[in-house]
Amino acid sequence: MPNILETSREGRVLRVTLNRAEKRNALTAELCRLAVASLENAFAAPDVGAILLCATGKHFCAGMDLSEVSAATADSISDAQERLFTVGSWAEKPIVAAVEGAALGGGMGLVANCHIVVAHPEASFGLTEIRVGLWPFLVYRALSAGLGERRVLELSLTGRVFGAPEAKEMGLVQEVAPDPQTRAAEIASAVSQFSPTTIRSGLRFTRDVRGQAWEAAGRIARRMRDEVFASSDFQEGLRAFVEKRTPNWPSVHA
C-alpha cells in the first residue's frame, strides 16, 4: 500500500508530496499529522533550507475527507488540522507550493499557509464548505491574514470556485506557470541557498508584528535587525559581497 505522504530530498529542499490521488488528496487526520511531523522535522534540520509542497494526481487537495467525519472523530480531526492550517504562523523555513487542479476548502487553506505559491493556469480554488453546511473555521485566519477579511468572507458565503488568474490577482498565488512543480522547485532551490539565520528571523518578524501597533512593531523591527547585524551569517554575507563570492553561511553548519 503506497504511503499517503511521501518525502524526498533535492539538495537543500525537502519535497513533501500529498499522495492520495484516488481521493483527490483529501485530508484525513492521519495525513494532517504526517504532514505536520514532516514539516517539524524539516524546520529542525540544518541541512534543509526550504520545503516544496506538492501533490500526486490531477488535484492538489480537495479539502477535508468528509468520509472520515463524525461526531466521535471531530476532536481528533480538528486537533490535527489546527496544527497544519496554522503552519504559516510557526514555520521558520520557507514553504513553496506547486498547485495543479483543485485546491478547495482545506486545500485552499493549506495553500494560504505557504509563503510562495506557483499554480497551473487551469488550477482552481474555492472555500466550498458552505455547500455541505460547513464553514471554513480552521483556515479562515490564515486566509484573512493574506487576503483580507472581506474577501475571505465573500468566498466563504458564496462557496464559488475561481481560477488561477483571479487567485494571482488577489495574492493567493504569486506565479502562474504551465509546469508548476518544476517552477516551484526552482524557486525553493534558490530560496534554500540564503542565510537560514536571516530567513528564520524574517519569518519570526512577520509573525511577531502582526496585529501590533506601529510603535511596537518598530521596536520589534529594530531589535531583530540588531540581532541579524550581530549574526555570523551577516558578517559572512558582508565578506562575501566585498570578495565577490558566494557566501558560506555559518548557520548551515551549526
Q: Measuring CA to CA, which residue among 54, 51, 43 is closest to residue 18?
A: 54
Non-local CB neighbours of 29 within 8 Å, separated by 6+ positions: 68, 73, 76, 77, 79, 80, 81
Give the model's pLDDT for residue 74. 63
Give the model's pLDDT for residue 127. 98
pLDDT tens-digit map of 128-145? 999 999 999 999 999 999
Task: Label residue 211 left, alpha or beta by phi (over 0 means left) and psi (-120 to 50 means alpha).
Answer: left
Q: What is the pTM of this model?
A: 0.94
The x, y and z cell numbers of residue 101, run together, are 487542479
Give the model's pLDDT for residue 66. 85
Least confident segment among 6-15, 77-86, 99-108? 77-86
Beta bridge partners of 119: 99, 176
Catalytic residues: 129
pLDDT band at 73 (very low <50, low <70, confident <90, very high): low
Q: Which residues of 213-252 are buried (b: 16+ CB within 10 A; e: fewer)?
A: eeeeeeeeeeebeeebeebebbebbeeeeeeeeebebebb
pLDDT band at 166 (very low <50, low <70, confident <90, very high): very high
| Measured distance CA(195)–CA(237) in Å, rounded | 9
Q: Is 102 helix (H, G, I), strand (E, B) or coil?
A: strand
Give the model's pLDDT for residue 75. 66
Instruction: State how far the alpha carbon of 36 is from the alpha carbons of 82, 131, 134, 195, 246, in Å.
Output: 10, 28, 24, 24, 33
Would you say residue 70 has pLDDT above 80?
no
| Measured distance CA(107)–CA(59) in Å, rounded | 10
